[in-house]
Amino acid sequence: MTNTEVLIHDLVEKHGKNRNALMPVLQGVVACEKFLSEEAMVAVARELDLSAADVYGTASFYTFLDTKPRGKNIIRVCKTISCHMQGKEAIIKAIESHLMVKTGETSPDKKFTLLTANCLGWCHKGPVMLINDEVFPSITSEKAIEIIEEFAKKTI
């Protein structure tokens, strides 16, 4: 079995072999591998006795269940109104030029993917960004770069 298959087998053991377990299983795969590969979706379908199309149908609906390859860390900058009013534009530009990517792209060293997100629920402390599951409210361009640099150091 490949690593992905082992991971999925363990997740299904934990969450159960039924359709209701599909979201937790897919979330578990994304937590480890950052995105859902074709191989992963086919393996999940087999384990849960669903069609691969069904699994892809569910996966492709959700923003956080990426089906495209992603970097080791995913940055999501909130772009909704209050973060907009508090200067998300400058933050995104600063990160883009620091990582030398456009929004939606992955850095050449595969360490980061930069994305935007709809309201992250920190409107009183914008602008805000998530890196993976961690939240960073009230950021400035400088602070955002510092935080990203720290993640870069931790990422092999």
Partner 1 sequence: MEQKPLKKIDIIFGWDDKCTPIQVVEKTIKKTAENIILDMIDSGLKGRGGAGFPTGLKWKFCRNEDSDIKYVICNADEGEPGTFKDREILDKVPEKIFAGMTICGYVIGAREGYIYIRGEYNFMLKTLQQKIDLFNQQLHDLKVDFRVYLRSGSGAYVCGEESALFESMEGKRGEPRNKPPYPTVAGYNSKPTVINNVETLVYTSEICRMGPEQFKALGTSDSRGSKVFSVSGDTPIAGIYELELGMPLKDFVEEFGDGDSKAIQVGGASGHCVPRKKFNDTIIGFEGIPTGGSMMIFNSSRSMYNVLHDYLEFFTEESCGQCTPCRIGCQQLLKGIEAVKKGERPPTYLDDLKRLTATMKIAAKCGLGQSVANPFTSIVDNFREEIIY
List of residues contacting partner 1 (CB under 8 A): 19-24, 26-27, 57-58, 61-65, 80-82, 84-85, 117-126, 130, 133-135
- 2 or 138: whose CB is closer to partner 1? 138
Angle, in degrees to the nearest 10, between helices 38-48 and 22-33: 150
If the CB atoms of residues 9 and 98 are measured against partner 1, the closer one turns out to be 9
In whole angstroms, how close is the CB of 38 to partner 1 at the nearest point?
19
The two beta strands, 112-117 and 73-78, are: parallel
Task: Quote the DSSP letter at residue 110.
Answer: S
- Give CA 23 to chain center in angstroms: 15
**Least Å from the CB of residue 100 to partner 1:** 26
Answer yes or no: are the C-beta atoms of 96 and 114 closer than 8 Å: yes
Please state the closest distance from residue 6 (CB atom) to partner 1, in A.
21
Q: How far is the CB of 138 from partner 1 (least distance, A)?
A: 11
Please give the sequence-ordered ranges of beta strands (E in DSSP) within the chain, or none if there are none: 73-78, 112-117, 129-131, 134-136
Residue closer to partner 1 (CB basis): 89 or 109: 89
CB-nearer residue toward partner 1: 62 or 108: 62
Distance CA 121, CA 38 (A): 32
